[in-house]
Chain A
Amino acid sequence: MVLRHRCRTRGAMVLAGALALAACAPLVPGPGAPVDERPGERPAPPPPAEPEAPVEAPSPPASPVSPPVAADAVSALVGDARRAAAAGRHEAAVALAERAQRLDPRAPEPYLVLARAHQALGRTAQARQLALRGLASSPPGSQLRADLEALLGTLGP
């Protein structure tokens, strides 16, 4: 506990030397550590100070992006939704696009279809928000992004 207080100032840390610095290293439990053996809200010592080498733990590609597992199913439903919309059945288009969205809420296509259907039904504010949602997960430079931006342009501020 004394050591933790020493971590407060940089000068003290220098004087405390390697022992103190080791005590301040982050507490990383081994895999499978039982939950109830964790010290609860009891905080671990302060941040990494003197590891052997640069720590790259919190680097951006820490976890692989999951593959779009439902791509074919989403495409099929988006296709059905587009056909429903083309036939003027916008409520049906909403229902179908929401099924697609449910399969993969990060897929942007269903949001474009939803936004257009809501626009056609006169729900402009909701259409705008749906377009924004689609934009948040559409890749830069894609046709879809361009479509969503164009749609947003027609929906006003």
Chain B
Amino acid sequence: MAPAAGGTVAKRRAGDTVASAKGRKSAGRKARRRAPRRRGRQPGRSLARYLAGMLALPLLLAAVLGALVLDHMVRERFSGAKWALPTHVYSRPLELYAGLPMTRADLLGELDELGYRRVERVPRPGQFVLAGGLVRIHAREFRFPEGEQQARQARVRFGSAGISALEDAGGRALPLLRLEPVRVGGIYPEHAEDRILLRLEETPPYLADAVIAVEDRDFHRHHGLSPRAILRALWANIRAGGISQGGSTITQQLVKNFYLDRSQTLARKAMEAVMAVLLELHYSKAEILEAYLNEIHLGQAGNRAIHGFGMASEFYFRQPLAELDLHQVALLVGMGKGASHYNPRRHPERARERRNLVLSTLAREGIIDAEQAEHAAQRPLDVTESPGAVNRYPDYLDLVRRHLQRDYAARDLTAEGLGVFTHMDPRVQQRAETALEETLAQIERDRKISPGTLQGAAVVVRVGTGEVLALAGGRRPEFAGFNRALDARRGVGSTAKAAVYLAALEESRRYTLGTLIEDAPVAITSGGKRWAPENFDHLSHGPVPLYHALSHSYNQATARLGLEVGVDRVAKVLRRLGYQGPMDEVPALLLGAVSMSPLEVAGIYHTIAADGFYTPLRAIASVGDAQRQLLTRYDFEVEQRFRPGDIYLLQYGLRAVMREGTGAGARLPGGPAVAGKTGTTNDQRDSWFAGFSGNYLTVVWLGRDDNKPTPLTGSSGALRVWTRIMAGLQHRGLAAAPPEAVVYAWYDPVTGEGSGPRCEGAIQLPFAVGSAPEPRDCGGAGGRALDRVRGWLGLD
């Protein structure tokens, strides 16, 4: 559009000088004609002539100058980028394929988000048909920054485990169907005008005709001003006894909205008239109409103004403009008279009357026939219950904005109409928000805590890709505010213990999961301060296997282990896991004396969940310009930071947390193998849980904004939210088969030594190759008890 407009401007400039010259000439003639009339009426001819001469010249000059200034204004604003366009932010596109564990209800939810309409017969793009267990979808075309995707039809069949088959319209198996992404929000300029630019040729049938019929019947005949319309309005106003109708043309209305303020002075009206004529002089009717369709104000969402029919269509119908039917087009056209007065969500009856009036006008003007008008008038308003294209996920958008600010100037983000394609999964996002909000309210009721005092945050990441699928920064997700998921840096407590055990397990000659470590009082002086951690139950538990100390989160055993391994090594492991923030290398670090945001904790645990491969967490896949040409791609990056075997052993310990330790209360449907770690800080100010399955990692923090104590531990607080989020997702269990560097061996948890399949109390435990204990043969059942006693007494 821009080059065409530029070309027009260049062409018209030559004529412009001629027109201005003509203007000057005619102004001069008028001045001369008027002078004699005045002369005839008044005595003192020579004086009058002299005065007239004195006045005429400056007036003439002022008029010419004024016209030139207005002409410049008209052309300058109209020829370039007419509007500062907001950045639009999209979710991930949903990929459908046979085997996807997705329910029919979830698919219908996604189609609803995308504004797909359910129909009974063969669907058009943006529609679907339900036939028994089958969903027939006609996916829309969509321009991704990586390339155009054509509209296509597909049939989706569901089985008990999700999508059982995906076929094309002819019934042939289709490997994949990608739906277009959901527009989940935007980044707006200061004046908060939101619009989706449309071209005249993209508008649905009837729109342009309807706008002309309703707003300016003489549009194609006048030159900016319509004397007939003014007379018509005058007559209507006289009959009504006040101002009931304006005589403004579409061109005048565009000038008024585009260039001038809202004041109703005579001078402003005069300027409007002159500029309307100038605009018509320079630009074609099509260009003026297109600008009008994009400029018109059609609604308000908080402080965000909905401009143009493109955005209004998304806002009221959650559909692209091109898909609208006659009755929807008529509704939007009718709203041009007053978007607030005819708001179909607030005043449906008023909006319906107005819409039907537009329909009868169209019939009267011969644009549609009476039958069409009648049929359309019978249809419901079809407006969606909740507005489309609103910032429903401000916390996630906050993350997107911060990532974008690394590469884009603030002005580009609010003016260039960029398209940002994120990894956000609206279904997961909604689950995370609901789980956080409802579980916090439930905990407050259960624990008799004053309502609203507990806060929380949650982050969900796809394991292996590091894509942030959901991020909730507090309760009441619809309001942007303090984003705890990014900005609440709180003590992480025992969630940091994973680093201590990983540091130990990396020294496979010294430590295995079966190494007995002493859970006994420990006290050291560091930096002049005495440090003597206690267990949560104020007890000591004696020698315990390493995996058990981790799964039960024993502080004393962990402190002893960490001091043996070295605080500096544990700190290095935290860095390698991905933590980049401030950290004091003091013994208390071993028990989590380091403050992190939930997103940072998610980054660390992602490295553990992804088998030791570090990946920076990502919110954005790519950014496209206003034409959706690729500007930036944010590729997957990966770096192996740990040996897979060491991570497997740590994951085993974290699985024991869920099986028999502090996370054992969590139950997920289907019982997938999951791993995780609780965290509780001093006086229970913070309640953490970080845990993952084979495909999802979720981190939850709960606490109070004023940092006062709560009655919650990691298990009784954050784990409840975690369970609720994870229970709504379809999981793949953690890999059961160990990497090559790991073997399973029989082990006796009491002696901490090797055992055999027939020995009492023996369990199988994974070990790094070369570190497994010697096996024992306990013989028959009779020998077992004796063997055990001999073992305890050290008689072997």
Contacts and interface: CB of A to CB of B under 8 A. Distances in A.
Contact of B464 (A13, A76, A91, A105): A105
Interface in B219-254: none
Interface in A87-134: 91-92, 94-95, 98-99, 101-103, 105-106, 114, 126, 129-130, 132-133
B792 A13 contact: yes
A103 B95 CA distance: 8
Interface in A10-41: 10-11, 13-14, 26-29, 31-41
A44 B661 contact: yes
Given A43-B537, A105-B465, A38 B715 contact: yes
Interface in A33-82: 33-51, 53-67, 69-73, 75-77
Contact of B640 (A58, A91, A129): A129
B302 interface: no
A48 B536 contact: no
Given A46-B544, A129-B638, A69 B100 contact: yes
A94 B635 contact: yes
Contact of A11 (B715, B766, B792): B792
B678 A41 contact: yes
Residue among A27, A75, A136 with the most chain B CB within 10 A?
A: A136
Main secondary structure of the interface of A (DSSP, over half): loop
A113 to B, nearest CB: 12
A105 B666 CA distance: 25
B757 interface: yes
Contacts of A46: 541-542, 544, 548
Contacts of B792: 10-11, 13-14
Interface size bracket, B side: 35 or more
Contact of B536 (A42, A50, A60, A70): A42
A55 B695 CA distance: 29
A84 to B, nearest CB: 10
Given A11-B792, A51-B761, A43 B554 contact: yes
Contacts of A31: 667
Residue among A33, A36, A92, A132 with the highest chain B CB neighbour number at 10 A: A36
Interface centre among A1, A28, A106 (most CB of B within 10 A): A106
A44 B544 CA distance: 12
B543 interface: yes
Interface string B436-461: 00000001001000000000000000
B146 A92 contact: yes
Contacts of A101: 464-465, 636
Contacts of A29: 664-665
B205 interface: no
A92 B148 CA distance: 12
A110 B344 CA distance: 49
B637 to A, nearest CB: 6
Interface in B293-324: none
B720 interface: yes
B628 interface: no
Contacts of B520: 8
Interface string A134-149: 0011001000000000
B95 A4 contact: no
Contact of B99 (A14, A49, A73): A73
A61 B764 CA distance: 11
B463 interface: yes
Residue of B536, B545, B694, B736 with most chain A CB atoms under a 10 A cut-off? B736
B608 to A, nearest CB: 14
Interface in B721-776: 723, 732-740, 744, 749-751, 757-766
Contacts of A67: 99
A155 to B, nearest CB: 13
Nearest to A59: B764
Interface in B57-116: 95, 97-101
Central interface residue in A7, A11, A39, A46, by most chain B CB within 10 Å: A46
Nearest to B684: A40
A40 B714 contact: yes
Contact of A133 (B99, B542, B640, B720): B640
A36 B635 contact: no
A61 B736 contact: yes
B677 to A, nearest CB: 11
Nearest to B464: A105
B47 to A, nearest CB: 82
B539 interface: yes
B714 A41 contact: yes
B789 interface: yes
A75 B97 CA distance: 12
Contacts of B384: none
Nearest to A4: B539
B667 A40 contact: no
A73 B723 contact: no
A133 B638 contact: yes
B153 interface: no
A28 B660 CA distance: 6
Contacts of A94: 633, 635
A103 B610 CA distance: 15
A79 to B, nearest CB: 9
B171 interface: no
B767 to A, nearest CB: 11
Contacts of A55: 761-763
Given A7-B541, A50-B760, A35 B793 contact: no
18 contacts: A26-B660, A38-B664, A40-B712, A41-B713, A42-B537, A48-B750, A51-B760, A51-B761, A53-B760, A58-B652, A58-B763, A59-B744, A61-B736, A65-B735, A114-B636, A126-B635, A129-B637, A140-B740
Interface of B: 95, 97-101, 146-147, 173, 175-176, 443, 446, 462-465, 467, 494, 520, 535-537, 539-545, 548, 552-554, 610-611, 613, 622, 633, 635-640, 644, 652, 655-656, 659-662, 664-667, 672-673, 678, 680, 694-695, 712-716, 719-720, 723, 732-740, 744, 749-751, 757-766, 789, 792-794
Interface of A: 1, 4-5, 7-11, 13-14, 26-29, 31-51, 53-67, 69-73, 75-77, 91-92, 94-95, 98-99, 101-103, 105-106, 114, 126, 129-130, 132-133, 136-137, 140
